[in-house]
Structure 1
Amino acid sequence: MNTVNTIQILKSTIGNPATRKLLKGISWYCEDCKKNRLEVALELWIDERKEACFKCKAAEKFLSGILKTGGKAFGISEEELKEKFSDPSWRKGLANVLRGIAKFGIEKPFVSGAPFLVVWDITYACNLKCKHCYATAGKPLPDELTTEESKETIDTLDKAGVPIIAFSGGEPLVRSDILELTRYAADKGIYVAMATNGTLITEEKAKEMKKAGIQFVQISLDGKDAETHDSFRGVPGAFEKTMEGIKNCLKEGIFVNIATTATHYNYEEIPEIIDLC
C-alpha cells in the first residue's frame, strides 16, 4: 500500500469528526490514575497496568481499535506495536500524536497536541568560556529555579504531554541537582536528553547519568584537535576532557550526538571531525 492510500485510510478512519470527538474526550489528564488518559489506556493495552478507573478502561477499548486500524494501514502487527509501546516514551509520543489529531485533524504539516521536544536551559552556569556562546553563559542567574520549582515545571510539561525534555544551559552538569531532575522526568516516561560540553563526564559520571535516565547526549566538538577546539572553548585541556566524555557515554550505552558550530575558523576541519567521531 502506498503512502497516499495509507494517509487516506487514516483520514477516513481516525481523522473523521466522530473519531476526533471521541479522541478529544479521552485526551485529558486523569486525576484518578495520575496520568494522561491516553497513556493509561496504552498501558492497559500492553498489559503493563492492570488497574485503572472506569473511564481509562473504556478509553483502552476504543484506543485498541484505532491502534489495530493504524497498524494494519502501515503493515505492522499488533505484537510489534505492543513491543514498541513497552517503552514509555513511545507511549507518550503516540498520545501526543493522537491529541494532535483530536484537536487539529490529520493535516500537513502535522500539528501535535504538545511540543514533541522542549529544550530547557536549566542553568546559565558554565565551566567554559566559549567564544560563540549565544547564552553568554558563565555564572548562574540569581532567579534560576530551585529543585522543587524545577520538578513542578516537569510536572507541568508531563501533564501537557511533552514526550522529550532536553536539558541544556550553560552547562547542565554544573548544576548539583541535575541528575535528580533527569531521574524525576524519566520516571514520568519522558525521554531525557542533555546538551553538554562533555568535559565533566568522567567514567563515574557517565554511569550516574545512565542510572538517572539520560538516554541521549549532544556533546559539542568544534575542532579536530585541541588547538582549534580549546581556542573556541576558552579553556586549555577542554578537548581531551570532551573526547573522554564522549567515550565514557558510549561505554554506558548512551546515544551520543556530536554538535559542531561551523564558522570560518573551523569549517575546513569538519570532514576530519567526522572521521574522528
Structure 2
Amino acid sequence: MKNKASVFCTKEDDIAQITSTEEEAAQVRALLDTAEQQSQEKKIRRTRKGNMLIKHLVLLKIYIHYGIHWRKPLYPVRLFRNIMLGKIYNLFKLKKYVLRGIEFAITFRCNFRCNHCLCARINESGKRREMDASDYAKIVKDAMKLGATTFGLEGGEPFVSHEWEEVIKACQPHYNHVIISSNGFLFDEEKAKKCAELGVDTINFSMDSGIPEIHDAFRRQRGSHAKVVEGIRLCKKYGIKVIINTVVHKGNLYTDGFLKLLEFAEKEKILVNTLLAKGVGNFQEKDAVLDPEDLKAMEEIVRPYNYVQRHLAYNYGKQFGCPGTKEMINMTPYGDVMNCANMHVYQGNVLEEPLATIREKGLRSPFGLYNPCFLADDRDFMTIYYPLLEQKGHVSLEEFMAAIKVYEKEKGRVLYPNLQQGIS
C-alpha cells in the first residue's frame, strides 16, 4: 500500500529499504510530510538574491566550460559550423536542421527500481537483441554525416551493461563529445579513471533532492545520494565535467530539498539540468506534471541561481523548444528511434532502414516542430499519448499519427498546422 503522505510516490517498504531502525524511518516520514505540506502551500521561497550581471557572466562561463572541449581540437570547429548553420536556417526560416547528437539507451536494465521510471516496463532484452559495439559504430558514422558531434550513453543504467567501454569507443571519443547519464551508484574510482582514459567529457548524475534521505527514498536505495556526491568528487579529480539532472514535479518544486539541491550546485559550480516530470511510471497515478501556474513559479524559484538551466534552451539557432528529432535523437538498445527518452513513439529502426530516412519521416510529424515539451507542456499531445502508453509500452509513428487524426476529428480543429507533408 502506498504511503499517501508522500508526494514522492514512496511506499512504506521503500522507506524500510533505506532505514535500519524505526527511529530512522520516522525521520524520513517527517521529511516527506514536510515536503508534502510545502507542496500544498505552493509558497515561492528563496535563499538568495540574484544578480543579473553575474548570472550572464556565469552563463558565458557555462557555455565555454560545458560546450567547448579544447582537448579535441576538431570538435570546436565542427560545433561552430553547426551553430552557424543553425542560425542561417533559422534566419531564413528554412525547414532544415543540423543533427546535434544521439542519446543511446544502451540497456533498459538497471540496478535501481525507482517508482517513477518506465524502463522496467519497456525492457525487452529477454526477447530482442541489444545492439553491440559494431552496430553503434555504424550508427555513429551515419549520424556524423548528418552533423552529429555529441553522443550520450544512458539507460536504464549504462554501467550495468558489460559493453559500456566498447560503446564509448564506438562513439569516436577522440572526435566527438561523449556523455554518460548515471544514477551514480556503480560509479567508483576505477570507472572514473577508465572514463577519463577513454575520453568521456561529461557525466550527468541524477539527483532528486538536496536532502539525502529524500533522494534515497525516491531512488529506493540507501546511500544513493552519498554515491552521487562521491561521484562528483571523482569526476573533478579525473577532469570529467559534471551535470546534475533533476526532475521537477509538483512534489518537489516548492520544497526545501529542491532549494538545497540548487544551493549545492551553486557551491560546487555544477550545472543543474532541470527536466520536467512526465506522466510515466507512478507519476501516472499522481498529478505530478507541472501546470502553467507551477511553470511560472519554477521560473521565479530558480531565477536567483546561476547554475540552473532548462534543457530546451540549448538549440542551434537560439530556438526554444523540444530539440527531439530535429537536433537530438534517442535510441532504444534495440535500434528504435525516438524523439526523447520518455516518448516511446518509435519512428523506425536503424537495423532495418537508414537513420537519415527515419529522421526525415520524423520531421514530417509533430516532432518536426520546436514545440514546448510535448509530455509536460502540450496538453493535447498528453491527452493522446498517455492513453496509448497505458495500452502498450510503445507505438509506431504511424499509429500515433492516426490517433492524432482521430483526436482532431473529435475536437474539430487541427493541432499542428505547420507540419511538413504528412507521413506516407
Q: Does 1:274 align with 2:258?
A: no
TM-score normalised per structure 2: 0.41
Q: In the alignment, which residue of structure 2 is the partner of 1:124?
A: 108
User: Can you give the 5+ residue segments of structure 1 that lack an aligned partner in the other structure?
Assistant: 1-82
SS where residue 186 of structure 1 aligns? coil
SS where residue 153 of structure 2 aligns? strand
CA deviation vs aligned residue, 1:90-123 (integer Å, no higher than 9, x gap): 122234356668xx75626687653113222121
**Runs of 4+ with deviation above 4 angstroms:** 83-86, 97-101, 108-113, 137-140
Matches within 5 A, 1:244-255: 244-255=230-241
Contact 1:180 1:212 in 2 (8 A): no
CA deviation vs aligned residue, 1:53-91 (integer Å, no higher than 9, x gap): xxxxxxxxxxxxxxxxxxxxxxxxxxxxxx979622212
Matches within 5 A, 1:1-277: 87-97=73-83, 105=89, 107=91, 114-136=98-120, 141=125, 142-187=128-173, 189-267=175-253, 268=255, 269-277=257-265
Distance 1:111 1:220, change over 3 A: farther
Contact 2:179 2:201 in 1 (8 A): yes
SS where residue 185 of structure 2 aligns? coil
Cα offset for 1:213? Answer: 1.2
Q: In the alignment, which residue of structure 2 is the partner of 1:80?
A: none
Cα offset for 1:210? Answer: 0.9
Q: How many residues align?
A: 193
User: Can you give the 5+ residue segments of structure 2 that lack an aligned partner in the other structure?
Assistant: 1-68, 266-424
Distance 1:138 1:231, change over 3 A: farther
Supply the distance in 2 between the matched residues of 1:138 and 1:199 (Cα, whole angstroms): 22
Cα offset for 1:138? Answer: 8.7
Distance 1:171 1:86, change over 3 A: closer
1 or 2 for the larger relative contact order (CA 8 Å, sep ≥6)?
2
Give the partner amino acid of 1:178.
W
TM-score normalised per structure 1: 0.61
Supply the distance in 2 between the matched residues of 1:276 and 1:97 (Cα, whole angstroms): 31
CA deviation vs aligned residue, 1:221-260 (integer Å, no higher than 9, x gap): 0122332111111222222222211211121111111111
Contact 1:126 1:139 in 2 (8 A): no
Supply the distance in 2 between the matched residues of 1:145 and 1:168 (Cα, whole angstroms): 14
Supply the distance in 2 between the matched residues of 1:263 and 1:193 (Cα, whole angstroms): 25
SS where residue 214 of structure 1 aligns? coil
Distance 1:137 1:202, change over 3 A: farther
Give the partner amino acid of 1:262.
V
SS where residue 243 of structure 1 aligns? helix
Contact 1:92 1:189 in 2 (8 A): no
Q: In the alignment, which residue of structure 1 is the partner of 2:272?
A: none
Supply the distance in 2 between the matched residues of 1:137 and 1:211 (Cα, whole angstroms): 34
CA deviation vs aligned residue, 1:111-138 (integer Å, no higher than 9, x gap): 7653113222121111111122243479
Distance 1:188 1:243, change over 3 A: closer
Distance 1:159 1:262, change over 3 A: same
CA deviation vs aligned residue, 1:174-206 (integer Å, no higher than 9, x gap): 111212221332346111112111111111211
Supply the distance in 1 between the matched residues of 2:104 and 2:164 (Cα, whole angstroms): 12
Of Structure 1 and Structure 2, the greater helix share is in 1
Identity of aligned residues (%): 25
